[in-house]
Structure 1
């Protein structure tokens, strides 16, 4: 099945964020006429606390089995109906399994569909009677009638807060560019930041080899450039750290806590500058020279 660059990126992105907290299946085939759910997530019992780091995405994911259908452009009515068909098939499959096992599924435990759209026009929302629930949810999240168990997330209408960052990274134009800047500004020790940057780095390299990119694909690549450049700089820094640590291990057998502090200072130098220092200075001279810079 052919995947467009944004489709591939969105699935890999959501899988990267959600996999620590439960089972993620991308391109999950459902019965009936063959259809594929972009991302099907089933939370683990212990995921409810840790998944809070994902903000709105985490809140959505732990509710129940979750179908996530990201779109690069506003979906058409036909595309929304196709997503609803997938949802109803997943629910029907779950209910058939429960019947075979002589169990029941509570209404609140049934799967729910979340359509992730960069925008949603008034006409589209009206066509499916999708409405806000500001008493319980933030702006930008529009719920279809209760029995349908579906919602449209209009990414451009989400508030610009840390809780919505991971969705806004799937937006368009200025929304996505702003989200990339916020991602890069997160503390370097933030594990999710690190993992997402690595994923963007790998994804962008693979996509740049393609020759049939559309204007939408090119826009996506441009919007993610800052994140890509940050990931590349991070990779270079980590590569240089590994070189320095290997040089110190070669000289002194190991890199203990004292030498680890020296590594950070050596990384402020160019490879041409730090290489002879690591190979020529004694341990005592290295500690004396660089500890004085603390």
Structure 2
């Protein structure tokens, strides 16, 4: 169960980091037997000027790309499956070009990045993976026509340029990356969204009864960060609302935090629902903050608000 939680986190994480720079499809279906690519990315040329903010991940996103993140070390069969899906994408692009009687350049064919925690020397050698002098250690490129690289996250050097990939690691690698993330300036363009995704991951893991030791340690590492962030949001709301009264300031901070969490969990929620949330008391907002951990759809939020409204009217 927790593997699927982490898989969803990886897809959401890559989508959030890359969507300012292009079109992200997560997942994306390919032809033949139904298969899904985890993340298919197409850069928008006018939006790529700040990609260097994402370090090595940004370098991967300068051209069309396929991202296949794995929570556990990838097997030989899983890598073969990735190659199969990549070839299907290439064939689909070629068929479209033939229909349009146009030529496609190599830069239009997506480069595939298989993100794995570890990989044995035997597996890397078996697929012909080699390091390149202009890339960091841990990124192994397969022979040219495969347009694929295997990225071994736990081999990446601990430098700022690899931070956004090491967030997808496990154990000490991920925890060190989280420490580096929290040390970034508060106005860093991707710090806030990454922390909120990690908080969502923490909450999903926390309600799961059978989690691994590493996941339990991750929950414990993120818990104080979440509480600090929650308190910071409340204090910001307090400061903004001093002229309108302490109570209203606390409510504003709580409302902002709850809306951010709901948007992250359910997608951007309707303005009418936000208006209902703004009518809740601090006690009700705190209750909603606990209840939203169990929400799977917007309908769950709507039902909770209706029940709360019925209770208030009684």
Q: 1:85 to 1:18 in 2, by over 3 A?
A: same
Q: How far apart are 1:221 and its partner, in Å? A: 5.0
CA contact (8 A) 2:55 2:162 kept: yes
The aligned counterpart of 1:245 is 240
Residue correspondence of structure 1 range 14-163 to structure 2 within 5 A: 14-62=14-62, 64-134=63-133, 136-163=134-161
Q: How far apart are 1:202 and its partner, in Å? A: 2.2
1:59-107 deviation per Cα after TM superposition (whole angstroms, max 9, x unaligned): 0011x22110111121000000000111011111111111112211112
Q: Distance in 2 between matches of 1:3 and 1:40?
A: 21
The aligned counterpart of 1:230 is 225
The answer to whether the aligner puts 1:204 opposite 2:195 as a matched pair is: no
Residue correspondence of structure 1 range 155-174 to structure 2 within 5 A: 155-174=153-172
CA contact (8 A) 1:119 1:155 kept: yes
Structure 1's consecutive aligned runs of 4 or more residues displaced over 4 angstroms after TM superposition are none
- Selected match of 2:186 from 180, 185, 188: 188
Q: 1:195 to 1:225 in 2, by over 3 A?
A: farther
1:219-248 deviation per Cα after TM superposition (whole angstroms, max 9, x unaligned): 245236434532431222112221332231
Q: How far apart are 1:109 and its partner, in Å? A: 2.2
CA contact (8 A) 2:202 2:218 kept: no
CA contact (8 A) 1:181 1:227 kept: no
CA contact (8 A) 1:204 1:221 kept: no
Q: Distance in 1 between matches of 2:3 and 2:72?
A: 15
Q: How far apart are 1:122 and its partner, in Å? A: 0.3
Q: How far apart are 1:194 and its partner, in Å? A: 1.2
Q: Distance in 2 between matches of 1:228 and 1:120?
A: 31
The aligned counterpart of 2:6 is 6
CA contact (8 A) 1:181 1:226 kept: no
CA contact (8 A) 1:200 1:224 kept: no
CA contact (8 A) 1:6 1:220 kept: no
TM-score (norm 1): 0.78
Q: Distance in 2 between matches of 1:208 and 1:229?
A: 14
Q: Distance in 2 between matches of 1:108 and 1:225?
A: 43
Q: 1:26 to 1:212 in 2, by over 3 A?
A: farther
Q: Distance in 2 between matches of 1:250 and 1:73?
A: 51
Q: Distance in 2 between matches of 1:3 and 1:33?
A: 24
- Provide structure 2 residue ranges, at least 5 long, that are not aligned to the other structure: 247-314
Paired residues, what number?
Answer: 245
CA contact (8 A) 2:21 2:44 kept: yes
Q: Distance in 2 between matches of 1:225 and 1:52?
A: 32
Residue correspondence of structure 1 range 260-275 to structure 2 within 5 A: none
Q: How far apart are 1:30 and its partner, in Å? A: 0.9
